Amino acid sequence: MKDTMLAAVFTAPGKLELQQVPVPKIQAPDQVLLKVLAASICGTDLHILHVPPGHPGTVGSILCHEYVGEVLEVGSAVTEFAIGDHVVVDPNLTCGSCCNYCKNGMPNMCSNMTTLGIFMDGGFAEYNVAPARALHKISKDVPPEIAVFAEPLSCVVNATQKIKLQPGETAVVLGAGPIGLYFTQIFKASGAGKIIVAEISSFRQHYARVSGADVVVNPAQENLVQIVQEHTGGLGADVVVDAVGTLLKDAIQIARRGGRILLFGQNQNARAEIAQNDITRNELTIMGSFIAKYTFPPTIKLIESGILPLEKLITHRLPLREIEQGFDAMRRGEAIEVVIFPHQE
């Protein structure tokens, strides 16, 4: 193997630089050396590179927490993986049993969590070293550009398990970015009676329809509340998902009495003024959901089944040396999923 590799390094606030860096080596018995087969740009990567940053990250680290790899070498204590296995990566490394949250079965709330591709080196590189506990096998029949969806999709699967959409129910998804589109596809596969997606971008509206939305609304030009009422016999939606992170007030207005609201999108600066009595009087159930929680195994089964049209969400396929084109497209709102291939010329 060569001594150096190409990597996209977070070098300073707002700066991502392509550099030749040393190929990482296994330093601990529980580690695995991966050849990165595919990696994707996440909105979190954009937030890290924003000035001022919208999400913390470690300067000097290789970004990307959504990636899939091939096992090249395993540490002496690793028994569950073999050379040549394809694996997806759960980048959120928890303490496992030291903090109260991990002890109580809530690893996604771990007090000592760190993350590959944000605070430690991740997947925008030709090779990566990760602990075996972060890896999950996936069939080699799944193309790497599809397997790379495992990380964000596992977070959405965690959320859908909480909201428990029933066949025939009406769901409203607020926002048709990648996360909103994952919800749309899963709701469609779960037998939703009607899916209404609210999105102001005409570019994203197209992908909402491709993903299975029955009705697509531009809330900047149309009355979302009225349209939801028209499509639900005046009752409101059974399920509402805020995939943006700022739309709780809207969600409350369009949910039926006894409806469920799932808050997924994140915006630390958002402040919503709501009428709390609407929640009480209408017996609304409001839930938050954060990252994955034991949901990589079911997510891998979901991907391997091929039931979701994930390939339709890929708008850009780029070699690592052209990664800035992918970031530019996302900043302009002209991309849904940008997949990077580190070994492609």
171 pairs with which residues across the strands?
195, 239
Q: How confident is the model at residue 167 (pLDDT cuts 50, 70, 90)?
A: very high
pLDDT tens-digit series, residues 91-148: 999 998 899 999 999 999 999 999 999 999 999 999 999 999 999 999 999 999 999 9
DSSP H helices, 198-292, are 202-210, 224-231, 248-254, 276-281
pLDDT tens-digit series, residues 297-339: 999 999 999 999 999 999 999 999 999 999 999 999 999 999 9
pLDDT over threshold 90, residue 277? yes
Average pLDDT over residues 36-63: 96
Radius of gyration (Cα) for the chain, nearest Å? Answer: 20
Tell which CATH architecture fits domain 154-288: 3-Layer(aba) Sandwich (3.40)
Sign of the C-alpha dihedral, residues 132, 133, 135, 137?
positive
Counting Cα atoms < 13 Å in the Cβ hemisphere of 169 gives 21
Cβ 43 vs Cβ 62: under 8 Å: no
pLDDT over threshold 80, residue 268? no
Q: How confident is the model at residue 272 (pLDDT cuts 50, 70, 90)?
A: confident
Instruction: State what percent of residues in the chain have pLDDT above 70.
Output: 100
pLDDT tens-digit series, residues 7-26: 999 999 999 999 999 999 99
Put simply, whether the predicted model's pTM sits higher than 0.85 gets the answer: yes
CATH 3.90.180.10 location in the chain: 4-148+309-341
The pLDDT assigned to 134 comes to: 98
Average pLDDT over residues 146-174: 98
CATH superfamily of 4-148+309-341: Medium-chain alcohol dehydrogenases, catalytic domain (3.90.180.10)
**How far is 147 from 69, CA to CA, in rounded Å?**
9
The pLDDT assigned to 153 comes to: 98
Q: How confident is the model at residue 345 (pLDDT cuts 50, 70, 90)?
A: confident
Q: How confident is the model at residue 149 (pLDDT cuts 50, 70, 90)?
A: very high
Average pLDDT over residues 273-291: 96
pLDDT over threshold 90, residue 170? yes
**How far is 291 from 91, CA to CA, in rounded Å?**
10
Q: How confident is the model at residue 65 (pLDDT cuts 50, 70, 90)?
A: very high
CATH 3.40.50.720 location in the chain: 154-288
Among 242, 195, 198, smallest CA distance to 222 is for 198
Q: What is the mean pLDDT of the chain?
A: 97
pLDDT tens-digit series, residues 176-221: 999 999 999 999 999 999 999 999 999 999 999 999 999 999 999 9
Write out the two tokens for 337.
């999923």
pLDDT over threshold 80, residue 269? no
Sign of the C-alpha dihedral, residues 227, 233, 235, 238?
negative
Say which residues have a Cβ less than 8 Å from residue 231's Cβ, sequence separation at least 6: 170, 194, 196, 215
**How far is 251 from 270, CA to CA, in rounded Å?**
15
